[in-house]
Amino acid sequence: MALAIALILLVVGSLIFHFLSPWYFTPLASNWELIDFTVSITFVVTGIVFVIANLFMAYCVIRYRHRPGQKADYEPENAKLEWWLTIITSLGVAAMLAPGLAVWGDFVTVPDEAAEFEVIGQQWHWSYRFPGEDQQFGNVDIRHITEDNAFGMDPADPAGQDDVLVASPIVHLPVGQPMRAWLRSKDVLHNFAVPQFRVKMDLVPGHVSYTWFTPTVVGEYEILCEELCGMAHFAMRGRVVIDERDEFENWLSQQPTYSELETQTVDPMLGQASYGLCAACHGQQGEGMQALNAPRIAGLDNRYLERQLKYYRDGVRGTHDLDTAGAMMRPILAALPDEAAIRNVAAYIETLTTESPITSVTGNVIRGKQLYENCASCHGENGQGIWAMNAPAIAGQHDWYLVSQLKNFREGIRGSHRMDLYGDQMMMLADVLQQDGDIDDVVAYLNTLSTN
């Protein structure tokens, strides 16, 4: 009897949960209302079966539970009943399958008027490419990828010269325009998914897949990787911003084309002149100075430096109330007049060398090594930094600085600005080091890497 009541309560409870649960599809922001419709049909059909089957079972448990003198019927089969059930079930299945297949037909046929863009996945961030004026993508190849050609563009292909390369994980798309996304991966499997668009598809290395959608609501949406792609899979996020057409065009025109990037010049010698300003705190050789909260910057990857300098300039970094050290950088940046100046000074700093700093942080090195495995995937086994991961070198950095930055990331003092492209990644990973002791352990292990 308790069982029957439990079954009834479970059915009623499931229904109540279904209707009262605050968790349901995010508001749709693409043309795929038909997908939501097929889901609704499936909910109705399966819901009816769920309720009827379980309530009938509960009825059986009440009505036919054992009482003295009761005897079961002897009925090996009932062909008629079984046929009816087969037919009804088949009809129910067809009612779900037919619309499903029809909508899938829409999904596999991309409309002719669709514009194209390319989504590129790699461990653990996104980048994008637009075909440019000629509406044609240039050839790409993994073998062409270098630090200066992160997209692997074929320099000899004329179609690729005007391709617009978006190296940040944030992409803009025009509202109301059907978009075909070509999906390409540089390393392992990834999956391009925006919950509000409903559609998703894997990115497969050595292969180009696609999906398509028409954004219908202006706004900003998260792009999630939904195919396990290694240790930092959960931190592989991007954003798609849906703009009105002219805003989109405006944004697109600000993005560099391949040929623009190719012809960009860098001159470390020009940077040396500007460096005098930095040397006051960071030292002549970029060795850093604890008293002034200035980290060692000598030899850091120029792209990392460039990005951080722009963050300071644009108020992405150093604007949090608690980031007093960072705030000191902001006025300095006024002295670097334009992008070229920033590029040059970054290039100069990259050429500097200095010896390893003195260590002060102590901790459990063995535990630190274990924890560092999570960092090593991006910053390298030896903390040397990996340009492809956008991860700077951390071995050889002052340990007090590493501690303060890890704490800043963990508390959201650094990296929480929406335009800090890889900040959210560091925030999520710094969150792994929940106790201050954890941070000390990792940094103590890093110290052993610096001295070697």
Partner 1 sequence: MAFVALADRDDDAHSHDPDTFITKYIWSQDHKVIAIQYAITAISVGLVALVLSLLFRLQLGFPDSFSLVDPTEYYQYVTMHGMIMVVYLLTALFLGGFGNYLIPLMCGSRDMVFPYLNMLSFWVYLLSVIVLMASFFVPGGPTGAGWTLYPPQAISEGTPGVDGGILLMILSLAIFIVAFTMGGLNYVTTVLQARARGMTLMRMPLAIWGIFVATILGLLAFPALLVAAIMMMLDHVVGTSFFMPEMLSMGTANEYGGGSPILFQHLFWFFGHPEVYIVALPAFGIVSDVLSVHARKNIFGYRMMVWAIVAIGALSFVVWAHHMYVSGMNPYFGFFFATTTLIIAVPTALKVYNWILTLWRGDLHLTVPMLFAIGFIFTFIHGGLTGLFLGNVTVDLPLSDTYFVIGHFHMVMGVSPVLVVFAAIYHWFPKITGRMFHSGLGKAHFWLTLLGTYSIYLPMHYLGILGLPRRYFAYGDTDFIPESAHAMNAGITIAALLVAAAQCLFFINVIWSLTKGKKAEANPWRAASLEWQTPDTPPKHGNWGAELPQVYRWPYDYSVPGASEDFIPQNVPDAYASTKDDK
375-404 positions binding partner 1, by CB under 8 A: 377, 380, 386-389
CB nearer partner 1, residue 61 or residue 361: 61
Each residue 350-379 as x (binds partner 1 by CB under 8 A) or -, in order, gives: --------------------xx-xx--x--
Which one of 41-49, 265-273, 342-350, 358-366 is the stretch in contact with partner 1 (CB under 8 A)?
41-49
Q: What are residue 153's DSSP bridge partners?
A: 140
Chain residues 268-327 in contact with partner 1, contact rule CB under 8 A: none
Closer of 99 and 178 to partner 1 (Cβ): 99
Neighbours of 101 (CB within 10 A): 10
Q: Which residue, 103 or 340, has its beta carbon nearer to partner 1?
A: 103
The correct pick among 119, 171, 179, 235 for binding partner 1 (CB under 8 A) is 235
Cβ nearer to partner 1, comparing 228 with 292:
228
Rounded CA separation 395/380 (Å): 10
- Assess 108 for contact with partner 1 (CB under 8 A): yes
Binders in 56-75 for partner 1, by CB under 8 A = 56-57, 60-61, 64-66, 70-75
Burial of residue 66 (CB within 10 Å: 0-12, 13-18, 19+) is exposed
Q: Which of residues 1-20 bind partner 1 (CB under 8 A)?
A: 3, 6-7, 10, 14, 17-18
36 vs 339, beta carbon nearer partner 1: 36
Q: How many residues bind partner 1 (CB under 8 A)?
A: 123
Other C-beta atoms within 10 Å of 20: how many?
7
How distant is the alpha carbon of residue 152 from its chain centre?
21
- CA-based nearest residue to 440, from 385, 364, 375, 369: 364
Does 26 bind partner 1 (CB under 8 A)? Our answer is: yes
Instruction: Give the whole-angstrom CA distance, residue 143 versus residue 168.
Output: 22
Cβ-in-10-Å burial (0-12, 13-18, 19+) of 390 comes to buried
| Segment (H or E) for 87 | helix 79-108
- Give the x-and-dash track for 180-199 against partner 1 (CB under 8 A): ---x-xxxxx-x-x-xx-xx
Q: Which stretch binds partner 1 (CB under 8 A): 141-149, 241-249, 264-272, 345-353?
A: 141-149
Q: Kindly give, in sequence order, each residue whose CB lies less than 8 Å from that of residue 231, ignoring residues fewer than 6 positions away.
A: 374, 377
